[in-house]
């Protein structure tokens, strides 16, 4: 980041929670935390009581890499009850209550998104760093949080104020068919995988790591709009070898990113299906690092999935939203 418009106020401690009934902000300045999971980076806004008006314009301004903080998306940390009272959610998700934490996720273009696997791991890390989770048990701290794709249980295996190892129950991936996309002048077929958000995971036979790196994915991807009327996240994946794949992703509403958590699960599902395995654990190498995906199942099909990987908190600061329009 070369030109973040931040105030000169002292850098806030990301470990501190908000007093009851207050947002994490001054009269004009908004506290934000910059964090990432394998390079998939986010602007995190701690706002337990939903006192911040998270407009598309605010999201775009904060996520702008030249005029704002910069990020692939924005995560508001809030309680389910406060989001319902503010009219952001229609109802508390099943299995949660008013005091449960909710990941209010927005894409960098300001649109809302159902789920973000790397984002929910970062969300758990920020909760832990700010002292908003309970005491850790023998296997770490476990908490169930809300997303627009439903409740998700995450476990913070280990963490400090900078780094964490977090896993999250990603639910049951649903393979909904086969479709195609076009990258550059190349037509590629893949599996449509519903992760709570739509994915097209394309395992390309014979694709090498070098071939993958050369694909012009950063220039955009076209997809079947009849099959994916609300857009789609596209993953291009190498075939499974020695328990691992390589992946690049073009995210709906964002463009190419260094990583996509739900996309790594979709990629693992597609790679395992391509290999004739169906279930197993896959190390997914993305430009931003490596995550581990476990796909579970039985004779009737896939029954669940888990994503595990790192999270890093880069900094916390205050931003005056008024300067983002400059």
Active-site pick, 63, 80, 116, 181: 116
Please check if 197 is assigned to a binding site.
yes
Please check if 99 is assigned to a binding site.
no
Concerning whether 260 is annotated as a catalytic residue, the answer is yes
Please check if 117 is assigned to a binding site.
yes
Distance CA 163, CA 151 (A): 24
Please check if 298 is assigned to a binding site.
no
Please check if 206 is assigned to a binding site.
no
b/e sequence 239-263, b meaning 16+ C-beta within 10 Å? bbeeeebbbbbbbbbbbbbbbbbbb
76: its two tokens: 């508001």
Concerning whether 80 is annotated as a catalytic residue, the answer is no
Active-site pick, 63, 80, 181, 260: 260
Please check if 251 is assigned to a binding site.
yes
Q: Which residue has the tokens 């508390």?
A: 92
- Three-state helix/strand/coil letters over 205-217: CCCCHHHHHHCCH
In the chain the first and final C-alpha atoms are separated, in Å, by 17
Please check if 40 is assigned to a binding site.
yes
Please check if 110 is assigned to a binding site.
no
Each as own residue / partner, the long-range contacts of residues 277-281 (CB below 8 Å, 24 or more positions apart, any chain) are: 277/240, 278/302, 280/243, 281/243
CA atoms within 13 A on the CB side of 33: 30
Binding positions: 40, 107, 117-118, 197, 233, 251-252, 261-262
User: Which residues are annotated as catalytic?
Assistant: 116, 260
Binding positions for substrate: 40, 107, 117-118, 197, 233, 251-252, 261-262
């Amino acid at each position: 980041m070369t030109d973040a418009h931040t105030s000169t106020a002292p850098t806030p401690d990301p470990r501190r929670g908000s007093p009851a009934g207050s947002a994490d902000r001054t009269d004009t300045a908004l506290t934000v935390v910059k964090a990432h999971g394998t390079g998939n980076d986010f602007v995190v806004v701690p706002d337990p009581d939903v006192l911040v008006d998270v407009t598309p314009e605010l999201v775009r301004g904060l996520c702008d890499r030249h005029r704002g903080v910069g990020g692939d998306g924005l995560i508001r940390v809030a309680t389910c009850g406060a989001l319902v009272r503010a009219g952001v959610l229609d109802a508390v998700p099943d299995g949660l209550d008013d005091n449960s934490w909710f990941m209010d996720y927005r894409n960098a273009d300001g649109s809302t998104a159902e789920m973000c696997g790397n984002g929910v791991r970062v969300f758990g890390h920020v909760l832990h760093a700010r002292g908003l989770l309970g005491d850790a048990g023998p296997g770490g701290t476990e908490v169930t949080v809300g997303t627009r794709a439903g409740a998700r249980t995450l476990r913070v295996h280990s963490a400090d104020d900078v780094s964490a190892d977090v896993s999250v129950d990603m639910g049951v991936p649903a393979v909904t068919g086969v479709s195609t996309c076009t990258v550059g002048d190349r037509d590629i077929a893949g599996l449509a995988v519903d992760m709570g958000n739509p994915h097209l995971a394309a395992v390309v036979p014979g694709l090498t790591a070098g071939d993958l790196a050369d694909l012009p994915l950063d220039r955009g991807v076209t997809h079947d709009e009849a099959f994916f009327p609300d857009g789609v996240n596209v993953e291009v994946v190498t075939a499974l070898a020695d328990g691992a794949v390589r992946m690049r992703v073009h995210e709906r509403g964002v463009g190419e990113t260094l990583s996509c958590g739900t996309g790594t699960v979709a990629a693992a599902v597609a790679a395992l299906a391509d290999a004739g395995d169906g279930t197993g654990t896959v190390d997914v190498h993305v430009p931003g690092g490596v995550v581990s995906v476990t796909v579970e199942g039985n004779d009737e099909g896939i029954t669940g999935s888990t994503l595990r990987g790192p999270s890093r908190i880069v900094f916390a600061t205050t931003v005056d939203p008024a300067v983002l329009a400059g």
